[in-house]
Amino acid sequence: MLGAVSGLILGALATPAAAHDDNSEAHHPCPDADLIPADDSTVRVVKVAGLIDPVVTDYVLDELDAAEADPNTFWFVLWVNSKGDTLDDDEFVAFAQRLRESELQVALWVGQPGSTAQGGAAELATVVSLIGVTPNSTIGNTGPLRLPPEWGMPFHDATDRLKTSTFTAEEAIEAQLSVGPVENTIPIPSFETYLAGFVVYRCFGEDGSVLTFPQTRTVISGLPLTSQLFHTISSPEVAYLFFVMGLGIMLFELFVAGVGVAGIIGAVFVLLGSYGLASLPTRWWAIALLLLAFFFLAIDIQTNVPRAYTILGVAAFAIGTLLLYDRVSMSWVTMVAGIIGILLYAYTGMPSMVRTRFSTPTIGRKWMIGEIGEALTDISPEGTVQIRDASWQAITNRATPVSKGGSVRVVGIDRLVLEIEPEEGGAKDYRERK
């Protein structure tokens, strides 16, 4: 395929569909030939949204294989809205090389409006034939280039600038990023307008040659449901949330001592989160800090009092959250939500749960019946007694009076008032009650 950008940066850049509406000599490279529309030809479009990870690359390459196996396919278009990739250098180079060496013409479309192609997604400009950028969309911010320099500079004189910044479609045109002159350039507000330039004609020349040009009939595809699930799990925010939520649920199950349902759910979340983290450029020591944070929290949760280990746990969690990823970034909203969530979990949620689960049940006062105490005042019929070093309001059983200092026995309870009688000689001896 074409080793460098041999098409146009579209802002987009496209020859209007009207340019193909007639067979005039001004619009076709073989004006003396018979022009026969090739209605059976195909443009295959593959949507690439989110970070370009192994799930996405496997799917794109499978679609490229299918497109190359179809004799009617002439263009292979990547419909991109991506802030970068999670591939290591070898994986990224292998992916780009496969696109570069394809027998098909490969285009890269950044759209709809408001989309972006950054990092590795932008660097793929090195290996495609045509680049389209809608108004209000951007391309650039490549960071350090990873593709072999002999493949060419993806943005020519603006390559160094675009390592740390992005261009809109209009800026791309002004910077003359395309190879060769740009003629009949128009804004491209929609994908349909972009595809209007893909009109295929079979051009029969005098020497018998046949040339084919892009056309409009398209086959658009995206990740299937299962692949989309794993692609979503591999996003920085989802992988992080699944992992820490799973750890929190498993710790909850440990102290609740339930039947294990929460523990199983937590384990599933941890496994899914671990898959996502494994496919992302994570720092292993940051993951270790997240694990250590929950270990510290467990120590204080066991005592039901947030102390030094809780502070250490929250600090380890915050550092692990902020420095978890290497070449990709996580939304600050997700990071703030995670840190606030762990604070609430450690200082209110788990202590309250543990107190509720393991607190001593309310103790009744029936244990006091039969207890021996002392009259603190004359009881005739009401007064105060002392039972096990605690003072209680009391009333004599059947109005049998008790003098101050006398020994009494509790024979009944009426709310907060004890019914007592003399230890001996009461109206009804407690020892006779069965």
Question: Do residues 44 and 219 lie in contact, with contact meaning Cβ atoms separated by under 8 Å?
Answer: yes
Q: Are residues 333 and 392 both part of a single domain?
A: no
Beta bridge mates, 234: none
Q: Are residues 278 and 374 both part of a single domain?
A: no
Of the residues 201, 226, 251, the one at which a domain ends: 226
DSSP-derived secondary structure for 37-78: E-TT-EEEEEEEESSB-HHHHHHHHHHHHHHHH-TTEEEEEE
Is 202 within the bounds of a domain? yes
Is 4 within the bounds of a domain? no
List of residues 6+ apart from 376 with CB closer than 8 A: 383, 384, 385, 386, 391, 404
Is 32 within the bounds of a domain? yes
Q: Are residues 261 and 297 both part of a single domain?
A: yes
% the chain with pLDDT above 70: 74
Q: Rounded to whole angstroms, how far apart are CA atoms 69 and 75?
A: 13
Between these two residues, 275 and 351, which has the higher pLDDT value?
Answer: 275
- Whether 404 shows a pLDDT value over 70: the answer reads yes
- Whether 35 shows a pLDDT value over 70: the answer reads no
**pLDDT of res. 59:** 94
Q: Are residues 24 and 115 both part of a single domain?
A: yes
Query: Please, which pLDDT band fits residue 364 given cuts at 50, 70 and 90?
Result: low
Q: Are residues 28 and 160 both part of a single domain?
A: yes
Mean pLDDT value across the chain? 78
The alpha carbon of residue 34 and the mean position of all alpha carbons in its chain are separated, in whole angstroms, by 55
Is 95 within the bounds of a domain? yes
Q: Are residues 421 and 323 both part of a single domain?
A: no
Secondary structure (H, E, C), 375-416: ECCCECCEEEEEECCEEEEEEEHHHCCECCCCEEEEEEEECC
- Whether 262 shows a pLDDT value over 90: the answer reads no
Cα-based torsion angle of the residue sequence 151, 157, 163, 169 in order, rounded to the nearest 10 degrees: -100
Is 151 within the bounds of a domain? yes
Which among 103, 42, 29 has a CA at the least distance from the CA of 72?
A: 42
Token output for 7 = 């098409």
Query: Please, which pLDDT band fits residue 46 given cuts at 50, 70 and 90?
Result: very high
Between these two residues, 101 and 302, which has the higher pLDDT value?
Answer: 101
Tokens 């060419």 correspond to 152
Of the residues 202, 226, 250, the one at which a domain ends: 226
Q: Are residues 404 and 333 both part of a single domain?
A: no
**pLDDT of res. 26:** 38
Q: Are residues 160 and 186 both part of a single domain?
A: yes
**pLDDT of res. 387:** 85
Number of structural domains found in the chain: 3
Query: Please, which pLDDT band fits residue 353 given cuts at 50, 70 and 90?
Result: confident
Alpha-carbon distance values, 237 to 6, 51, 338 (Å): 37, 12, 10
Buried b (16+ CB within 10 A) or exposed e, 344-382: ebbeebbbebbeeeeeeeeeeeeebeeeebebbeebeee
Q: Are residues 309 and 342 both part of a single domain?
A: yes
Backbone phi and psi for residue 204, each to the nearest 5 degrees, phi listed first: -90, 110
- Residue 75 belongs to domain with CATH number: 3.90.226.10
Q: Are residues 259 and 213 both part of a single domain?
A: no
- Residue 372 belongs to domain with CATH number: 2.40.50.140
Find the helix or strand (DSSP H, E) in which 34 lies.
Answer: strand 34-37
- Whether 359 shows a pLDDT value over 70: the answer reads no
- Whether 304 shows a pLDDT value over 70: the answer reads no
- Whether 14 shows a pLDDT value over 50: the answer reads no
pLDDT of 313-327, one tens digit each?
A: 999 999 999 999 988
pLDDT of 52-106, one tens digit each?
A: 999 999 999 999 999 999 887 878 989 999 999 999 899 999 999 999 999 888 8
Is 55 within the bounds of a domain? yes
Is 1 within the bounds of a domain? no
pTM given for the model: 0.64
Q: Are residues 120 and 59 both part of a single domain?
A: yes
Residue ranges making up the domain that contains 133? 9-226
Q: Are residues 155 and 30 both part of a single domain?
A: yes
Question: Do residues 401 and 380 lie in contact, with contact meaning Cβ atoms separated by under 8 Å?
Answer: yes
pLDDT of 129-180, one tens digit each?
A: 878 788 888 888 988 889 988 887 777 778 888 888 988 877 877 766 543 2
Is 416 within the bounds of a domain? yes
List of residues 6+ apart from 305 with CB closer than 8 A: 351
Of the residues 206, 226, 246, the one at which a domain ends: 226
